[in-house]
Structures are given as structure tokens and as C-alpha cells.
């Protein structure tokens, strides 16, 4: 009987890849057409980090190495603009601005020169008249009369503005000399950039990146669920709102929805801000407001497949609100669940019921009096909010700082304050638990929301008025025949 071979690897979803990339030069991408995709049945170590960097310019997709340590399928690609972070683009942008400035200066000089030339042409008959009178007076001084002298003085007064025109010509000559030097410098810089860029075919490079992107997304689809082994350093996305709150993106897999939602506060809130993209959320722009018909309690909300799931204020009722129809689709009581600070996390804040999503679907974390305050985990049907299955973890909820689900495993932190770590894990597939020691940096010392997003494989946290992300390291077991 054939036994499926286990290919074991560690998925390292860290933005450290970006730092490694930026320490290299762009030409290192050119060799990517020699990338090898590992054949079926080989051992491989998959590394993925799907969350874009702070400037949303570079995006790490995936990398792998074979047993000999050779790179198998690596690409770090600009998600929106191939050359956005290339330093030569900044040079070209600066040169473009300089060329525009030179062009504007030349237009001003050309306009002034044309105007002054017209004035000189209009003054030409007067100049000829003055010149003729002067020649007459020089050749026959007796012809110079008092009346003739007055007429000559009048003509000279009319010609006096020509001195200003001549002076302007002198200044324009200096300006033209300066522009000539600027154009010469621009020409030298452009020649250098042209020689450098000439070594690369950016269109070919872009096609190569797109091909690898397709292959790497296919490679990532092979990744099964994994076990948490590490949490990255925090990535602060924004500082906004009060000390408590929640923010999220749609956790549905797959999804092309790029919207971000923010819900400030934990008590009787009704206002949900919807941002078009993560970039808009970071800048606090391009948002619309949803006013919920029922206020929320706590910060354990989640967006799943276009709907917001949240706990209704002063009740154990779960609400499904559609962002598309701007209406409540469903309400259902979570039977026996405590509410109104009966069994909150250690930080309080009406955090009795915590909804979350992982690779397996929608979950509710809560507790009840019959469970003696221990954390209960229930898997929910997102269409009916029926409880499909429940587990008693045996871990006291008031001793937990926060909790999140990854691949059917509940991970619990031992505090919401500085020095917190992931302390406990409950595996629903085997109904077993273990104590863990996975530290993470609680940068702002008061976490009031921590949720895992399976689509981006990142932890979203609200930390003392800061919206913070953590990438996670998962230990994967990938099964294949062969």
C-alpha cells in the first residue's frame, strides 16, 4: 500500500524579505528566467509574505529552496508599477521637472524677445529719421535751428525706451547661457541613464515577473494549514481613533475585495468606516460611513464574504450586516454565552464574545456559567449562524489577553499588556491543547483586538489607538502522492 509522502517545510511570512530585496540591485531580477520550479514529490521549503510594504510598492510573493539550498521559485515584484521603486525613476522624474523648468524659462525668453523685436521694428522709421537729421546737422551745422533741435530732442525721447530693451537683451543673454549649461548637464545625465538602462529589457522583465507570479500563486495553493511557530515584529499601519477598537479586511478566501473597515470603541458604537483600499485607510481618505441599526459590544467583529458579523450590545445576539444592501441579514442568539462584561478578556471592554475567521470558516469564542468561565470555541454556519460544533478548551477566559484562530487552532495570549506572548493553543481537530511560548512585541502596550486574516496570513491588532499588523510563521505539512 502506497503511503503519501510528507513534504515538511516552514512557511515564513515575514517582511524581512523586502529588506533583503532592497539591499540588492534591480539587475538581480533579470536572472529570474532561470528560476526552477521544483518537480512533484521533492522536498521544499516554502516562504510566503503576501502583505505589501508600507509604501505598497513592493510585494513578496513566494520563495523556495531545494534540499541542496538552491533557490527554487523566488520573486519580489512591484504589485502596481514595475519600476516604481527603481532609483532611476526618481532621477528621471527629477530630470523631467528640470526640463519643464528650462522649457518654461525658454518660453518666457522667447515671448519677451518677440515682443521686444516688434518694438524695435516699429521704432525703425524713427531711428532712420533721427539718423538722417544728425547727418544733416553734422554736414551743415548752420542748418541746426532752435526748432529743429527741439524736434530732435522729441524724437530722442521717443527712442529712450530702447535702452531698457537693450538692457533686457543683455540679461536674456545671461539667462540663455545658464539654460545652455543646464541643458548640457541634463544631456550628460540622460546619456548615463540611457547607457545603464540599455542593459535591461523592462518589457521582457515584466513578462517574466507576470509568469513567475502565476507560477508562484499556483505554488502557494499547495500550502495546507500550518501550526504557528513565530510572530513577526509589528508593522504600524496607522495611528487613529481611541484606545479601543477594531479594524479588518474581508477574510474570505479567495477574494479580490481590497476594502478596509474601521470600528472605533467597544461600547454602543454604530459607525463603521469603509475605506476603498489599504492605502486610503493609511491616509484616512476615500471612505464611506455605515450606520448600524443595532450598536455593537466589544471589539470581536469580523468581515466575511462582504458581511460584518458582530455582537449586539447588551446581549449574546450575533448580527450579520450586509455592506452591499446596508441592512441586517440575520440575528441569532449564541445560546448560553455570557455578555456585558460577564466573561471578558483580561482587558474588559465587553469582550465576552469574539468572532473570528480562519481557513476553515467562521468561529465564535466565548464562555458561559456552565463552563465555569473557561473558553468555549464554536464553529458557526455563516449563512444561518447555527453552531455546528463546540469545544471546551479548559482555559479561563479572564486570564486571556486576546485570542485568534489559525487553521482550526485557537491561540491565546497571556496578557494584553507589554510582555505578552502566545501562551496556549487548543487544536479542534484533535480536541487537545498545549502550552506555547511564542513572544511578540506589544509595541504600544495595550492590545484590545487581535484577529488573524487567512487571506493575507497576517494578524490585525488595535493597540492603544494604533492599527498594527504582524506577519506569522507557520509550520506546514504539505501532502502529495509520489
Would the pLDDT of 59 be above 60? no
- pLDDT tens digits for 320-375? 999 999 999 999 999 999 999 999 999 999 999 999 999 999 999 999 989 989 99
Poorest-pLDDT segment among 61-65, 301-305, 426-430:
61-65
Would the pLDDT of 51 be above 60? no
Q: Are residues 341 and 460 located together in one domain of the fold?
A: yes
User: Can you tell me the mean pLDDT for 429-453?
Assistant: 95
Per-position DSSP letters for 339-374, written without gaps between them? -SSSS-BTTBTT-S-EEEEETTEEEEEE--TTTTTE
What is the spatial distance between Cα 273 and Cα 280, in angstroms, rounded to a whole number?
11
Poorest-pLDDT segment among 90-94, 252-256, 292-296:
90-94
Q: How much is the CA Rg of the chain, to the nearest whole Å?
A: 36
Q: And the C-alpha cell for 331?
A: 440575528
Q: And the C-alpha cell for 335?
A: 445560546
- Say if strands 327-333 and 226-231 run parallel, antiparallel, or are unpaired: unpaired
Q: Are residues 172 and 254 located together in one domain of the fold?
A: no
* Arithmetic mean of pLDDT over the chain: 77
Would the pLDDT of 82 be above 60? no
Q: Are residues 245 and 368 located together in one domain of the fold?
A: yes
Task: Find out whether 382 and 369 touch, Cβ atoms under 8 Å.
Answer: no
What is the spatial distance between Cα 415 and Cα 423, in angstroms, rounded to a whole number?
9
User: Can you tell me the mean pLDDT for 454-478?
Assistant: 88
- Say if strands 235-239 and 245-249 run parallel, antiparallel, or are unpaired: unpaired
Would the pLDDT of 247 be above 50? yes
DSSP state of 250: -
**Residue burial 75-112, b: 16+ Cβ < 10 Å; e: rest:** bbbbeeebeebbeeeeebeeeeeeeeebeeeeeebeeb
pLDDT at 475: 81
Report the 10 Å Cβ neighbour count for 399. Answer: 16
Please report, for the domain that includes residue 312, its CATH number.
2.120.10
Angle at 189 between CA 183 and CA 194, to 5 degrees: 120
With respect to residue 239, please indicate whether it lies within any of the assigned structural domains: yes
356 forms bridges with which residues in the sheet?
A: 363
In terms of C-beta density within 10 A (0-12 exposed, 13-18 middle, 19 or more buried), how is residue 189 classed?
A: middle
Q: Are residues 183 and 112 located together in one domain of the fold?
A: yes
What is the spatial distance between Cα 309 and Cα 294, in angstroms, rounded to a whole number?
12
Q: Are residues 384 and 450 located together in one domain of the fold?
A: yes
pLDDT: which is higher, 128 or 10: 128
- pLDDT tens digits for 137-167? 777 777 777 777 777 777 777 767 776 777 7
Q: And the C-alpha cell for 258?
A: 481590497
Cis peptide leading into residue 254 (ω within 30°): yes
Q: Are residues 186 and 320 located together in one domain of the fold?
A: no
**319: pLDDT confidence band, cut at 50, 70 and 90?**
very high
Poorest-pLDDT segment among 91-100, 198-207, 281-290, 308-317:
198-207
With respect to residue 44, please indicate whether it lies within any of the assigned structural domains: no
**% of the chain with per-residue pLDDT over 90:** 47
**Helix (H) / strand (E) containing 121:** helix 87-139
Q: What's phi and psi for 27, nearest 5 deg? A: -60, -15
Q: Are residues 281 and 428 located together in one domain of the fold?
A: yes
Q: Are residues 308 and 370 located together in one domain of the fold?
A: yes
Task: Find out whether 168 and 112 touch, Cβ atoms under 8 Å.
Answer: yes
User: Can you tell me the mean pLDDT for 55-68?
Assistant: 43
Q: Are residues 169 and 289 located together in one domain of the fold?
A: no
With respect to residue 173, please indicate whether it lies within any of the assigned structural domains: yes
Report the 10 Å Cβ neighbour count for 293. Answer: 11
Would the pLDDT of 482 be above 50? no
pLDDT at 13: 35
User: Can you tell me the mean pLDDT for 223-228?
Assistant: 77
Name the domain count of the chain.
2
pLDDT: which is higher, 99 or 251: 251
pLDDT at 49: 35
pLDDT at 223: 60
- Say if strands 302-304 and 287-297 run parallel, antiparallel, or are unpaired: unpaired
With respect to residue 156, please indicate whether it lies within any of the assigned structural domains: no
Short-list 288, 298, 279, 366, CA closest to 323: 288
pLDDT at 98: 73
Sorted by sequence, the CB contacts under 8 Å of residue 470 that are 6+ apart come out as 231, 232, 233, 234, 235, 440, 458, 459, 461
With respect to residue 20, please indicate whether it lies within any of the assigned structural domains: no
User: Can you tell me the mean pLDDT for 280-297?
Assistant: 95
- pLDDT tens digits for 180-222? 777 777 777 777 776 666 555 566 777 777 777 666 656 655 5
- pLDDT tens digits for 407-422? 999 999 999 999 899 9
pLDDT at 19: 32
Would the pLDDT of 27 be above 90? no
Residue span of the structural domain in which 359 resides: 226-475
Q: Are residues 332 and 394 located together in one domain of the fold?
A: yes
With respect to residue 28, please indicate whether it lies within any of the assigned structural domains: no
Residue indicated by cell numbers 468561565? 373
pLDDT at 55: 39
Helices (H), 242-300: 278-283
Half-sphere exposure of 219 (CA within 13 A, CB side): 27
**% of the chain with per-residue pLDDT over 70:** 71
pLDDT at 233: 93
With respect to residue 467, please indicate whether it lies within any of the assigned structural domains: yes
Q: How far is CA 415 from the centre of its chain?
A: 29
With respect to residue 106, please indicate whether it lies within any of the assigned structural domains: yes
Q: Are residues 185 and 234 located together in one domain of the fold?
A: no
Q: Are residues 168 and 270 located together in one domain of the fold?
A: no
**431: pLDDT confidence band, cut at 50, 70 and 90?**
very high
Short-list 352, 249, 355, CA closest to 306: 249
Poorest-pLDDT segment among 132-136, 240-244, 255-259, 334-338:
132-136
**Helix (H) / strand (E) containing 247:** strand 245-249
Would the pLDDT of 31 be above 50? no
Amino acid at each position: 500500500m502506497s503511503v503519501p509522502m510528507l513534504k515538511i517545510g516552514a512557511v515564513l511570512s515575514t517582511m524581512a524579505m523586502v529588506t533583503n530585496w532592497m539591499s540588492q540591485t534591480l539587475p538581480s531580477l533579470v536572472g529570474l528566467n532561470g528560476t526552477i520550479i521544483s518537480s512533484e514529490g521533492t522536498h521544499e521549503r516554502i516562504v510566503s509574505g503576501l502583505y505589501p510594504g508600507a509604501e505598497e510598492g513592493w510585494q513578496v510573493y513566494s520563495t523556495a529552496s531545494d534540499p541542496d539550498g538552491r533557490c527554487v521559485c523566488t520573486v519580489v515584484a512591484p504589485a502596481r508599477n514595475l519600476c516604481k521603486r527603481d532609483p532611476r525613476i526618481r532621477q528621471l522624474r527629477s530630470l523631467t521637472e528640470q526640463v519643464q523648468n528650462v522649457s518654461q524659462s525658454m518660453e518666457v525668453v522667447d515671448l519677451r524677445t518677440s515682443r521686444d523685436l516688434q518694438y524695435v521694428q516699429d521704432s525703425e522709421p524713427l531711428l532712420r529719421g533721427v539718423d538722417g537729421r544728425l547727418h544733416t546737422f553734422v554736414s551743415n551745422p548752420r542748418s541746426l535751428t532752435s526748432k529743429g533741435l527741439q524736434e530732435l530732442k522729441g524724437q530722442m525721447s521717443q527712442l529712450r525706451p530702447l535702452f531698457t530693451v537693450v538692457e533686457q537683451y543683455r540679461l536674456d543673454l545671461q539667462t540663455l547661457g545658464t539654460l545652455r549649461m543646464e541643458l548640457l548637464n541634463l544631456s550628460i545625465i540622460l546619456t548615463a541613464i540611457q547607457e545603464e538602462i540599455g542593459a535591461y529589457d523592462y518589457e521582457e522583465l515584466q513578462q517574466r515577473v507576470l509568469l513567475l507570479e502565476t507560477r508562484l500563486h499556483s505554488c502557494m495553493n499547495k500550502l495546507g494549514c500550518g501550526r504557528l511557530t513565530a510572530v513577526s515584529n509589528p508593522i504600524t499601519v496607522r495611528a487613529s481613533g481611541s484606545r479601543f477598537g477594531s479594524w479588518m479586511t474581508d477574510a474570505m478566501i479567495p477574494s479580490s475585495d481590497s476594502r478596509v473597515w474601521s470600528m472605533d470603541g467597544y461600547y454602543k458604537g454604530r459607525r463603521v468606516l469603509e475605506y476603498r483600499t489599504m492605502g486610503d485607510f493609511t491616509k484616512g481618505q476615500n471612505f464611506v460611513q455605515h450606520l448600524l441599526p443595532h450598536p455593537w459590544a466589544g471589539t470581536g467583529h469580523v468581515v466575511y464574504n462582504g458581511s460584518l458579523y458582530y455582537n449586539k450590545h447588551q446581549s449574546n445576539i450575533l448580527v450579520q450586516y450586509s455592506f452591499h444592501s446596508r441592512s441586517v441579514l440575520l440575528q441569532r442568539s449564541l445560546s448560553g454565552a455570557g455578555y456585558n462584561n460577564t466573561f471578558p478578556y483580561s482587558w474588559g471592554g465587553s469582550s465576552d464574545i469574539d468572532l473570528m475567521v480562519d481557513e476553515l470558516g467562521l468561529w465564535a469564542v466565548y464562555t458561559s456559567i456552565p463552563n465555569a468561565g473557561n473558553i468555549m470555541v464554536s464553529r458557526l454556519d455563516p449563512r444561518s449562524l447555527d453552531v455546528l460544533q463546540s469545544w471546551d478548551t479548559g482555559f479561563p477566559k479572564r486570564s486571556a489577553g486576546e485570542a485568534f484562530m489559525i487553521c482550526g487552532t485557537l491561540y491565546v495570549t497571556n496578557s494584553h499588556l507589554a510582555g505578552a506572548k502566545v501562551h496556549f493553543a487548543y487544536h479542534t481537530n484533535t480536541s487537545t491543547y498545549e502550552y506555547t511560548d511564542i513572544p511578540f512585541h506589544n509595541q504600544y502596550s495595550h492590545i484590545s483586538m487581535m484577529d488573524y486574516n487567512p487571506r493575507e496570513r497576517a494578524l490585525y491588532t488595535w493597540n492603544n489607538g494604533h492599527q498594527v499588523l504582524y506577519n506569522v510563521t507557520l509550520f506546514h505539512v504539505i501532502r502529495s502522492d509520489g
